[in-house]
Amino acid sequence: MANKNLIKRAFSVTAGLPPAHAAAGSTPSAEIAVAAPITETPSVQQNPGSEVLPSPVEGGGAPTRDVPAGAKPLTPPRTGPGSMLAFMAQESVVHKEVLQLRERVAAFDGAEIARRLDPTTIAASRWANREEAHFATDAFAKLKDEIATAGGNVQPIKVRPIADRPTGDAAPVFEIVYGHRRHRACLELGIPVLALVQQVMEDVDLFVEMERENRNREDLSAWEQGVMYMRALEQGLFPSAKQLGIAIDRDMSNISRAMALAKLPAEVVRAFGSPLNLQFRWATLLKDAHQRDPEGLLSMARDIASRQPRPAPAEVFAILTGSTTRKANGGTSQEWTDAAGKPLASLTVDKRGRVTVVFDQVLDDAQRRRLSKMLDTFVGSKT
């Protein structure tokens, strides 16, 4: 049955084709698939240097046509088996080409295409989480030098088209999903930025991708994360902090502490010199100090900000909270506490500069091994 269908298909393809020497406009006939002798007679007209095709056959046929000397006119198969073989050969070649094309297309399945964009056409996300002070750090300067040396960013940023953007040539075309530092570096260097363009992306998806991408790269400061989370909640991106934590797969305690730092008065943040100096473990005690005596905390923060030179961030924290760093036997002592203020560890330096670290909890085997590795790295030798 399959062979019959194949033969029928071959005849259907070849039967409707005119002979190679047929003139345009002649009526094709199914008889061309039948092997029949054709009487060839010289044509009356003949051009120099050309062969003469057969004259029209009585009762209708192909008119004469000049063919260049040495060229052989193409003749379709004259028999059913010949037509079938020609058709099968053609089908085999086409099928092979289709398979090759499918393999090449499959290799790019799911791939995203990166392209070079003018950084001036790209705007920061409305949830941008990089404090301006971040672009004055040594880490950013190093990143900028690397991009300049490579002639552009190797790792692409990600953008999406801005919906309902204002008209005008100067209006940004794209909004950053992630890669604010790489974009800023290219913008300052005046070179195109390599970017992936996501044509359709919801606000929630943008926020989640940006948060996770930044977490996998250089960590944001605790204060920057808090600002980012607060913006998302204030703009209704998530109905609650709990839903935000589920979406970005982060513990609620970290989210709460980050937002506690972001809610601190500007005077308190300035006392630390830069919001990047604020640490997660300080959030609870600073929050408590602000709740106990808001005016007193602000007064101390203004006094610290006016000092020259300004105290180190750890000392600022000690002054504002009044408990973590103190004098001990002529030396100094520093304490670490958990989110509830419970002591975890302390470091003491005596008069001779010798350091003692005491943990207020029992360390298990895994913790002791981690501590040992840290000390190995610190002292530059192995136990």
Of 80-84, 241-245, 272-276, the one with minimum mean pLDDT is 80-84
Give pLDDT, residue 372: 84
Segments of the chain assigned to CATH 3.90.1530.10: 113-220
Pick the CATH number of 113-220 from 3.40.50.300, 3.30.360.10, 3.90.1530.10, 3.90.79.10: 3.90.1530.10
Q: What's the pLDDT score for residue 139?
A: 83
Question: How much is the mean pLDDT over the chain?
Answer: 75
pLDDT at 211: 85
In sequence order, which ranges of the chain are alpha helices (DSSP H)?
A: 2-15, 80-106, 138-150, 180-189, 203-216, 222-234, 241-248, 252-262, 266-271, 283-292, 294-305, 313-321, 365-379
Token representation of residue 368: 């002791």
Which residues touch 36 (CB under 8 Å, ≥6 apart)?
none
Pairing of strands 193-197, 325-328: unpaired
The pLDDT-based confidence of 167 (bands split at 50, 70, 90) is low
Q: Which of 56-60, 348-352, 379-383 has the lowest mean pLDDT?
A: 56-60
Which pLDDT band holds residue 103 (cuts at 50, 70, 90)? confident
pLDDT of residue 331: 53
Q: Look at residue 337 and tell me whether its pLDDT is greater than 50.
A: yes
Q: 125 or 27: whose pLDDT is higher?
A: 125
Give the confidence band of 99 by pLDDT, cuts at 50, 70, 90: confident
Per DSSP, 18 falls in state P
Amino acid residing at 274: S
pLDDT beyond 60 at 336: yes
pLDDT band (50, 70, 90) for residue 104: confident
> Which DSSP symbol is given to 264?
S
pLDDT single digits (tens) 16-72: 544 444 444 444 433 333 333 433 444 444 444 444 444 444 444 444 455 555 555
Provide the residue type at 186 as one letter: C
Is the pLDDT at 119 greater than 90? The verdict is yes
For residue 334, pLDDT over 70 is answered with yes
Q: What pLDDT was estimated at residue 75? A: 57
Rounded Cα gap, residues 104 and 98, in angstroms: 10
Among 303, 262, 302, 306, residue whose Cα is nearest residue 280 = 262
Name the least confident of 56-70, 182-196, 260-274: 56-70
> Is residue 158 within 8 Å of residue 209, measured between CB atoms?
yes
Distance CA 293, CA 138 (A): 36
User: Alpha-carbon distance 318 to 320, whole Å?
Assistant: 6
User: Do the Cβ atoms of 14 and 8 come closer than 8 Å?
Assistant: no
